[in-house]
Amino acid sequence: MRAIQNPLTLEHTGERVRLGVLTNPIALHNHRFPFTHKSIQGHLDSYADAVLTVTRDEIKDAVLHLLHDRKVNCIALNGGDGTIHTALNALIDLDFAGKGRLPLLLLLNGGTYNMASRAFGTKGDPVTTVRRFVRRYKDKMICDVRTRPMSLLDIRFEDGSKMVGMVFGSEVVANALDLCDKLGGGYMGLARLLLRGSVGCVLNTRFYRENLWRIVPRDDNVTVDGNEYRGVIGFVASTIDLKLARGFVHSLKAVGDSDGFSCKIVFGKSGWDIVNMLPALLWDLAHRGVINLEVSSFAQLRGRFTVDGELYEDRGIIRISRFPHHFNVVSGDSF
């Protein structure tokens, strides 16, 4: 890894907007439309302001290249929630956050669910979004760009490692995402999972029997702000609105301008309990088996987990709090 030499600082608000793009070509939308990256390049000052990252390991070098070599002050992340997650952690690892050197972020709908980008108002495909952004902010100053703050979770593990993220899900959420991918992924995979799960529970199908273990986590205790909850099936913590079905279904609404995070705690003893509370889980409705906490400061649990759609194995005790820094994300309704 190269040493950082005089990276760009956003205190220079009189700088002209310099957009760079990081594309994950295997994210769902980009994989289906392989000319997306090439088309985006045509709207930038230089083709060199856009980079491809096939693996997660390449993202940190790509971020450093855009900020140091290309001197961009706004990075468009063209991938899914996992790509955004990796880029956020790369910026933190490079210590841009600690030195006040965070670029603006433009989130594109290049992935599968695009929950993060939709939460910040991004509309349309990646090429359309970049074209509209360039048209709106070409030759403008960086201080002219309308942004919204993106708060993050600070997630720490028993072995001393850590990461930041927007959405954390416990073991049962990770299992559901894993199964969703096996059923085709994306919104089609989600629809199949909901349908086969609901029908399977009623009819006791083979699919239901073979996958019942996925909703029985190994450890069912969760502590939130000093209160221990037992009999928990699932837990979700988030600093952004969770929107499913292309943004029309709100499964969890984050509270802005707070020092904490929103979380959802789900209780139950059987598969039927899950089916019965599906409307509450998908549409953020009241249910006796679901507790919604608008603002929490600390949570602790253990088991397999998911962060921003990325799946992780058990790493012991997990502690979740609010990360002290935030990113400024371009507001999608500003262009």
Q: Reduce the DSSP state of residue 319 to 3 states and report it.
A: strand
Q: Reduce the DSSP state of residue 266 to 3 states and report it.
A: strand
What pLDDT is stored for residue 1 in this prediction? 40
Question: What DSSP designation does 144 have?
Answer: G
Nearest to 143 by CA among 328, 320, 335: 328
- Report DSSP letters for 151-173, one per residue: --EEEEETTS-EEEESEEE-HHH
Distance in angstroms (rounded) separating the CA atoms of residues 87 and 54: 13
The amino acid present at 232, given as its one-letter code, is V
What pLDDT is stored for residue 8 in this prediction? 39
Nearest to 110 by CA among 135, 89, 129: 129
How many distinct helices (H) and strands (E) make up the chain? 11, 20
What pLDDT is stored for residue 164 in this prediction? 97
| CA distance between the termini of the chain | 36
Nearest to 84 by CA among 66, 106, 68: 106
Contact, 287 vs 280, CB < 8 A? Answer: yes
Residue range 162-322, CATH number: 2.60.200.40
**Could you tell me where the beta strands, DSSP code E, fall in the chain?**
19-23, 50-52, 74-79, 104-109, 147-150, 153-157, 162-165, 167-169, 222-224, 227-229, 232-238, 242-244, 249-252, 261-267, 290-296, 299-302, 305-307, 310-312, 317-322, 327-330
CATH 3.40.50.10330-classified regions of the chain: 19-145
Q: Which residues contact 235 (CB under 8 A, 6 or more apart)?
A: 168, 169, 170, 173, 222, 263, 264, 265, 266, 299, 301
CATH 2.60.200.40-classified regions of the chain: 162-322
Q: Which CATH architecture has domain 19-145?
A: 3-Layer(aba) Sandwich (3.40)
Nearest to 247 by CA among 81, 85, 113: 113
Distance in angstroms (rounded) separating the CA atoms of residues 220 and 229: 8
Structure tokens at 118: 């939709």
What tens-digit pLDDT sequence spans the chain (335 residues)?
444 443 434 445 678 999 999 999 999 889 899 999 999 999 999 999 999 998 989 999 999 999 999 999 999 999 999 999 999 999 999 876 566 578 999 999 999 889 899 999 998 999 999 999 999 999 999 999 999 999 999 999 999 999 999 999 998 888 887 887 788 777 777 778 778 888 887 788 888 888 877 776 565 799 999 999 998 988 999 999 887 665 556 677 777 667 899 999 998 877 777 777 777 777 777 888 899 999 999 999 999 999 998 999 999 999 999 999 899 999 998 88
Could you give the dihedral angle defined by the CA atoms of residues 308, 119, 155 and 174, in that order, rounded to the nearest 10 degrees? Answer: -30
The CA–CA distances, whole Å, from 269 to 143, 231, 254 equal: 52, 8, 27
Contact, 115 vs 81, CB < 8 A? Answer: yes
- φ/ψ (deg, to 5) at 317: -65, 135
What pLDDT is stored for residue 116 in this prediction? 93
Distance in angstroms (rounded) separating the CA atoms of residues 222 and 301: 5
Structure tokens at 263: 């979380």
Which residue, chain included where needed, has tokens 């594109």? 108
Nearest to 295 by CA among 238, 214, 249, 242: 238
